[in-house]
Amino acid sequence: MKAVCMHETGGPEVLRVEEVDVPVPGPGQVLIRAGVAGVNFTDVMARQGVYIAADSAPRLPAILGTEVAGVVAAAGPDVPGELAGRRVIAFVRGGYAEYAIAPSDLVAELPPAADLAEATACLVQGVSAWQLLSDCGRIEPGQSVLVHSAAGGVGTLAVQLARVLGASTVIATASTPAKQQLAAELGADVVVDYTVPGWAGEVLASTGGRGADIILDAVGGDIGEQSLDCLAPFGRLVAYGVSSKRLAPFAGTQLMHKNQTVTGYWLTGRLASDSRSIAGVVTSLLRLAQAGQLRGVVKHAFPLEDAAAAHRAISDRLTVGKVVLTI
């Protein structure tokens, strides 16, 4: 089969299409013939060799990619054979390929009309957006939510889900007018350009000076640090990434006066320890999508052979929503 292989970390050019053996599903696994593979910011970090936790970085040589949509081609020895032939989305290892292996408990069957690329958004980015708001942010109806990088993959879904989960005000940040417009179209009440100094003041003004009850931040650096200036008393800031490649310095004493919380989120750790709840979240997201309450935004689809171009577009901050490879 064709796969995008990586023998060393480095620039996008280290991603090369090669011919490799089709993997064989073992116990508890299924083999999926992929139609679409999702590309995530985290894949870009793994390719650059700056993965968040060195012990979880892919071992080289590697095939990147953690999510696909396609058809079950074969089931492992102890997996019910009736899964074969079903259209599914799944968390996988080695997703940038014609075939990939998934643990059978992280495979979700798709409704007949579901679009493969849009459904892929319900995996890494959709599950993250949901758990950031519900498990980490502990969102309650009537609260205000600030979603940073709102036009990105996680951001586009978090804006919509904040609304579904009862937020009173959804505030979105993004770096360009086109991205800001997309956030507004997806349901943000207030849109702020966080590249302009003083952006946190705009967030404060839009919440009557109180600040946002929940802030989702994967930028880190100055944006993460300045987010504390517009976090409400008893508010929760969820840190889940470092797109800026700079950590935000937080001191516990900064949080004391207003009884605030900074908490962290990492999907990989949850996939390893709680696959049952993750499968439940995927099912809920697919239902919301079917009911028209959640939409995966797909504007960037690259052929498998152009995985390097997909990585370049993400690094250059040129994409919005879900980025996919078509296979």
Query: Of 266, 324, 275, whose CA–CA distance to 103 is shortest?
Result: 275
Query: Of 196, 185, 153, 189, whose CA–CA distance to 172 is shortest?
Result: 189
Which 24-53 residues touch ligand NAP, going by CB under 6 A?
40-42
Q: What radius of gyration, in Å, describes the C-alpha atoms of the chain? A: 20
Give whole-number Cα distances, 188 to 70, 151, 152, 169, 220, in Å: 32, 11, 14, 8, 22
Helix (H, G, I), strand (E, B) or coil at 220: strand
CA distance 89 to 108: 5
The reply on whether position 154 binds ligand NAP by CB under 6 A is yes
Q: Which is nearer to ligand NAP, 109 or 135 (CB)?
A: 135
User: Binder to ligand NAP among 151, 231, 278, 286 (CB under 6 A)?
Assistant: 151
| Count of residues that interact with ligand NAP, criterion CB under 6 A | 27
CB of 102 to ligand NAP, least distance (A): 18
Burial of residue 131 (CB within 10 Å: 0-12, 13-18, 19+) is: buried
CA distance 114 to 110: 6
Which 190-249 residues touch ligand NAP, going by CB under 6 A?
218-219, 240-241, 243-244
Q: Which is nearer to ligand NAP, 125 or 260 (CB)?
A: 125
CA distance 121 to 156: 10
CB of 142 to ligand NAP, least distance (A): 26
> What letter would DSSP give residue 54?
G
CB of 188 to ligand NAP, least distance (A): 12
Chain position whose Cβ is nearest to ligand NAP? 152
Are 311 and 65 in contact by the 8 Å Cβ rule? The answer is no
Q: Choose one: 11-19, 90-98, 144-152, 248-256; the region binding ligand NAP (CB under 6 A).
A: 144-152
Instruction: Find how far residue 299's CA is from the centre of its chain.
Output: 16
Q: Choose one: 16-24, 27-35, 146-154, 282-290; the region binding ligand NAP (CB under 6 A).
A: 146-154
The reply on whether position 134 binds ligand NAP by CB under 6 A is no
User: Binder to ligand NAP among 152, 211, 235, 296 (CB under 6 A)?
Assistant: 152
- Cα dihedral across residues 76, 81, 85, 91: positive or negative: negative
Cis preceding linkage at 61, omega within 30: yes
User: Binder to ligand NAP among 95, 153, 211, 224 (CB under 6 A)?
Assistant: 153
Q: Which is nearer to ligand NAP, 42 or 120 (CB)?
A: 42
For the window 166-185, what string marks contact with ligand NAP as x by the rule CB under 6 A? --------xx---x------
Are 114 and 289 in contact by the 8 Å Cβ rule? The answer is yes
Which 243-302 residues touch ligand NAP, going by CB under 6 A?
243-244, 265-267
Contacts with ligand NAP, residue ranges (CB under 6 A):
40-42, 124-125, 128, 149, 151-155, 174-175, 179, 218-219, 240-241, 243-244, 265-267, 314, 317, 319
